[in-house]
Amino acid sequence: MADETITQQVSERYARAVTTGEQMCCPTGYNFDDLRAFVPEEVLRVSYGCGTPAGLATVQPGETVLDIGSGGGIDCFEAARRVGPSGRVIGIDMTDEMLAMARRNAPIVAKNLGYAAPNIEFRKGHAENLPVEDGTIDLIISNCVINLAPDKTKVFREMFRAIRPGGRFTISDIVADQPVPQYLIHDTQKWGDCLSGALPAWEYLGGLVQAGFLGVHQMKFSPWSVIDGIHFFSLTLTGYKLLDAAEPDETRFATLVGPFSRTVDELGQTYRRGKPEAVSARTAQLLKTPPFERLVLLSGQPISLATTDQRLISILPAEAPCVWKGHYAILAAPFAEAEDDDHHVYRRGVPLEICSKTLDVLDSGPYGRHFTIINRATEAVAGDEASCDPGGSCC
């Protein structure tokens, strides 16, 4: 199916939704009672999405925020409240009917917020060709829209172009645990349902890094749908465009705290828990971004951490047989690769089958925020115990 055909049919379906109220990507995570205090009801009726990127405290006062696929304007209006009257919000959408609704409600929202004038504008455009100048955006948000774009590589490049150095994105989107087959890719109905255009998680995450973003990591996830054994799930991700000028090129040292025993970052640097590693100025800049705050110690002198140091985090599996129940772990941390204390090697976005003991470890607090967990079993599992001794049948 041609890219132009996909775009046209998706746009037409969303245009019809303005009058029919048809549900596509069912909205999740919105606090509609709160939003009704300043957002008109007609906007709430046509609000679609798989997360709430504008409502995760990622929007800061005074910022310039760009919403890709703004639809009726719900996320822009929430962002407008959070940036305050000194901030600015730009919504981009390809559907005239959605733009018309958003534009007529912008003055109403501004009045409800007590602003002297609207701090929002809505522009017609496509995600693959954003109508904004280079390096002018502090934060890009998007809610279940990029999966609708046929050329996601171009979308990611456009995002990187638009964001200023030091800026970031927070986007919610649908991804899959495996490649989507052709019979679904050519199903126009499922394109509008935010399924056919979903990339495998590893390809989506990798595409963002290839575009230039670093520190790409999961904010939250939720199951979405399972079709013919393919798991679709919602990921909310944040990533950063580092400043053009790195810090002075002086030697810095980074010490991995845990919970992983070994990691490899997006620039190729390897870390082992408790062992200081000399890092470049660029890597030091990366390690200062928020997702590394509880993972790595950054210092001017090497810091070695003894195994008894309370700053180290290590979580060993229970000393007992385990059970295979159909669970798979998907790493969504700001690392390209990571290893736990039971020698499982996780590659970001790639599902790895895990047993019950490993599931318990990854469900724990220090690990939980770094993983998406799915279950591929289609029926109840007998759950025979497996030995984890050397030569046993465990992982």
* C-alpha 115: how far from chain center: 31
pLDDT digits (tens, 9 = 90+) for 175-218: 999 999 998 888 777 666 778 889 999 999 999 999 999 999 99
Average pLDDT of the residues of the chain: 89
Q: With 80 as the cut, is the pLDDT of residue 229 above it?
A: yes
| 85 and 174 assigned to the same domain | yes
| 182 and 299 assigned to the same domain | no
Last residue of a domain, one of 202, 221, 240: 240
The DSSP 8-state label assigned to residue 292 in this structure reads: G
Q: Is residue 361 part of a domain?
A: yes
> How many domains, the chain?
3
pLDDT digits (tens, 9 = 90+) for 139-156: 999 999 999 898 999 999
| 278 and 173 assigned to the same domain | no
Please tell me which residue, 117 or 191, carries the higher pLDDT value: 117
Sheet holding 120-124, edge to edge: 120-124, 88-93, 64-68, 137-143, 163-176, 230-240, 214-227
Token digits for 233? 């799930």
Q: What b/e sequence results for 70-97 when a residue is b if at least 16 CB atoms lie within 10 Å of its CB, and e otherwise? A: bbbbbbbbbbbbbbebebbbbbbbbbeb
Q: Is residue 289 part of a domain?
A: yes
Average pLDDT over residues 238-256: 85
From first CA to last CA, the distance across the chain in angstroms is: 42
Residues pairing with 174 in the sheet: 234
The Cα–Cα gap between 6 and 208 comes to: 22
Token digits for 20? 């029919």
Q: With 90 as the cut, is the pLDDT of residue 301 above it?
A: yes
Q: Is residue 392 part of a domain?
A: no
The Cα–Cα gap between 242 and 216 comes to: 12
| 36 and 111 assigned to the same domain | yes
Helix (H) or strand (E) holding 4: helix 3-20
Residues pairing with 323 in the sheet: 385
> Given pLDDT bands bounded at 50, 70 and 90, which one contains residue 19?
low
Say which CATH number the domain at 138 has.
3.40.50.150
Say which CATH number the domain at 306 has.
3.40.5.100
| 28 and 169 assigned to the same domain | yes
Token digits for 29? 């995570």
Q: With 80 as the cut, is the pLDDT of residue 326 above it?
A: yes
Please, which residues have CB within 8 angstroms of residue 297's CB and are 6 or more apart in sequence?
254, 255, 257, 303, 305, 311
Q: With 80 as the cut, is the pLDDT of residue 366 above it?
A: yes
Residue with tokens 């050519």: 186
- Amino acid, res. 213: F
% of the chain exceeding 70 in pLDDT: 87
What pLDDT shows up at residue 14?
Answer: 47
Count other Cβ atoms within 10 Å, centred on residue 132.
Answer: 18
| 35 and 92 assigned to the same domain | yes
Q: Is residue 291 part of a domain?
A: yes
Helix (H) or strand (E) holding 14: helix 3-20
Q: Is residue 53 part of a domain?
A: yes
Residue with tokens 């409600």: 105
Q: Write down the H helix ranges in 163-279.
A: 182-185, 188-192, 201-210
The Cα–Cα gap between 218 and 262 comes to: 19
Last residue of a domain, one of 268, 296, 314: 314
| 263 and 185 assigned to the same domain | no
The Cα–Cα gap between 31 and 52 comes to: 9
| 148 and 78 assigned to the same domain | yes
Average pLDDT over residues 297-307: 95
| 111 and 212 assigned to the same domain | yes
Cα–Cα distances in angstroms (integers) from residue 343 to residues 277, 315, 350, in the given order: 21, 12, 16
| 114 and 72 assigned to the same domain | yes
Let me know if 58 is exposed, middle or buried by CB neighbors in 10 A (0-12, 13-18, 19+): buried
> Given pLDDT bands bounded at 50, 70 and 90, which one contains residue 390?
very low
| 169 and 276 assigned to the same domain | no
Last residue of a domain, one of 240, 263, 278: 240
Sheet holding 345-347, edge to edge: 270-272, 262-264, 337-339, 345-347
The Cα–Cα gap between 14 and 6 comes to: 12
Q: With 80 as the cut, is the pLDDT of residue 267 above it?
A: yes
Q: Is residue 259 part of a domain?
A: yes
% of the chain exceeding 90 in pLDDT: 72
| 38 and 80 assigned to the same domain | yes
What pLDDT shows up at residue 17?
Answer: 46
What pLDDT shows up at residue 380?
Answer: 78
Residue with tokens 């759950």: 383
Token digits for 208? 């963002």
The DSSP 8-state label assigned to residue 264 in this structure reads: E
Does the N-terminal peptide bond of residue 291 adopt cis geometry, omega within 30 degrees of 0?
no
Token digits for 219? 């904010």
Closest to 276 in 3D by CA, of 247, 249, 296, 260 = 296
Its pTM stands at 0.91
> Given pLDDT bands bounded at 50, 70 and 90, which one contains residue 319?
confident
Average pLDDT over residues 291-307: 95
Q: Is residue 395 part of a domain?
A: no
The Cα–Cα gap between 26 and 206 comes to: 27
Q: Is residue 391 part of a domain?
A: no
Average pLDDT over residues 240-255: 83
The Cα–Cα gap between 288 and 269 comes to: 15
Q: Which domain holds residue 289?
A: 246-314
